Amino acid sequence: MCREIRLYSESLDSLHFYVGITDDLRTRLAKHNAGEVPHTSKYGPWRLKTYVAFSNEKQAVAFEKYLKSASGRAFAKKRL
């Protein structure tokens, strides 16, 4: 099962969000918090905001692409 994840940074001066997909949510979050993901290492620690499970990877990738678009970011900010 593929999961769409949305994380937010706990840094006091940060309003950074991360959107991605994974098959192993706990491991992926641990990697972000351990600084193993270069893109997110400087903004941690990270907390799970939202996750959505999809039955196939194609749907998860399409939703991730949408959430990274301008209208998708507005949707996520308002609804997720």
Tokens 């400087």 correspond to: 42
Residue 4 has pLDDT above 80, yes or no: no
Rounded alpha-carbon distances, angstroms, from residue 76 to 7, 14, 46: 11, 17, 17
Nearest to 20 by CA among 45, 36, 39: 39
Assess contact for 5 and 25: CB atoms under 8 A: yes
pLDDT digits (tens, 9 = 90+) for 26-71: 999 999 999 999 989 988 899 998 989 999 899 999 999 999 999 9
The SS3 call for residue 43 is helix
Question: What domains can you pick out in the chain, each with its CATH number?
Answer: 2-79 (3.40.1440)
